[in-house]
């Protein structure tokens, strides 16, 4: 028997990177997977729907469609997210040379915080009715420990950890576990496009001496989505090769 046989799973940001790998992994383990994204193609074995996670009406329609087609939703992986890096203030030659743009801060919080809350809020009622659910949220190692030049992203990923712990308390008595995964340096397309010296530095800061793969994160999600993790609730699982202890 496969670990997710018969489960219905939604993976946001499911058209590429960690989301696509998670969709493939869940499908291979027996789940019916619906990948939500604002653009792209479905991962092999997954269905696809164009969804803007910041639009509550759009999310609501997508949830209704999933319930009409499959009768239940067992797993929500809140993977969709964006990055807009900038220092709070940039000081050069004794003068202000730049600062964190309001538009970037608003955009990151809108997608990474509001988007996750919107999706969880839309899916939770059906999970409560069925007495079962797994909600998995994408945080980051920087949400735990901060990172230079990433005020918006760090704020959003720290907020995800806070929301995860609140929902674990609120929804746990209803048969729903809520957990977060905090990846370190993961070899997505964006990261692998960075200059070689930067990549070498990332490897040197990671005690296992490699960049993480998208499958490393997908397998963490798989564990938390499975019945093996039925007593894991409100946890933040760092998947970072020991990055924090290596810095």
* Contact criterion met (CB below 8 Å) for 116 and 163: yes
Helical axes 115-130 vs 56-70, angle rounded to 10°: 30
Q: Which helix (H) or strand (E) holds 118?
A: helix 115-130
* Contact criterion met (CB below 8 Å) for 212 and 184: yes
Q: What is the DSSP letter of 238?
A: E
* Contact criterion met (CB below 8 Å) for 90 and 98: yes
Helical axes 115-130 vs 151-171, angle rounded to 10°: 10
* Contact criterion met (CB below 8 Å) for 186 and 211: yes
Kindly list the distances between the CA atom of residue 34 and the CA atoms of 62, 140, 239, in Å, as whole numbers in the listed order: 10, 23, 24
Active site residue 153: yes
Q: Which of 145, 153, 221, 223 is catalytic?
A: 153
Q: How far apart are CA 20 and CA 189, in angstroms?
A: 12
Beta bridge partners of 179: 136
* Contact criterion met (CB below 8 Å) for 227 and 174: no
Q: Among residues 140, 174, 133, 173, which one has the least CA distance to residue 154?
A: 140
SS3 (DSSP) at 161: helix
Residues marked active site are found at 153
């Amino acid at each position: 028997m496969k670990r997710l046989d018969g489960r219905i799973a939604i993976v946001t940001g499911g058209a590429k990177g960690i989301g696509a790998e998670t969709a493939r992994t869940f499908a291979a383990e027996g789940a019916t997977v619906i990948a939500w994204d604002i653009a792209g193609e479905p991962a092999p074995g997954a269905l696809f729907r164009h969804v803007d996670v910041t639009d509550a009406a759009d999310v609501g329609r997508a949830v209704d469609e999933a319930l009409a087609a499959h009768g239940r939703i067992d797993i929500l992986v809140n993977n969709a997210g964006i990055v807009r890096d900038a220092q709070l203030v940039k000081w050069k030659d004794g003068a202000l040379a730049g600062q964190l743009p309001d538009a970037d801060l608003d955009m990151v919080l809108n997608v990474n915080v509001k988007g996750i809350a919107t999706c969880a809020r839309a899916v939770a009622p059906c999970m409560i009715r069925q007495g079962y659910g797994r909600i998995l949220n994408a945080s980051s190692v920087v949400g735990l420990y901060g990172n230079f030049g990433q005020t918006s992203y760090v704020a959003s990923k720290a907020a995800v950890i806070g929301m995860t712990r609140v929902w674990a308390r609120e929804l746990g008595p209803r048969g729903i576990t809520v957990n977060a995964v905090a990846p370190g340096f993961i070899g997505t397309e964006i990261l692998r496009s960075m200059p070689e010296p930067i990549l070498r530095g990332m490897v040197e800061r990671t005690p296992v001496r490699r960049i993480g793969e998208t499958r490393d994160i997908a397998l963490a999600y798989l564990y938390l989505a499975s019945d093996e993790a039925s007593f894991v609730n409100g946890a933040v699982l760092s998947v970072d090769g020991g990055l924090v202890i290596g810095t």
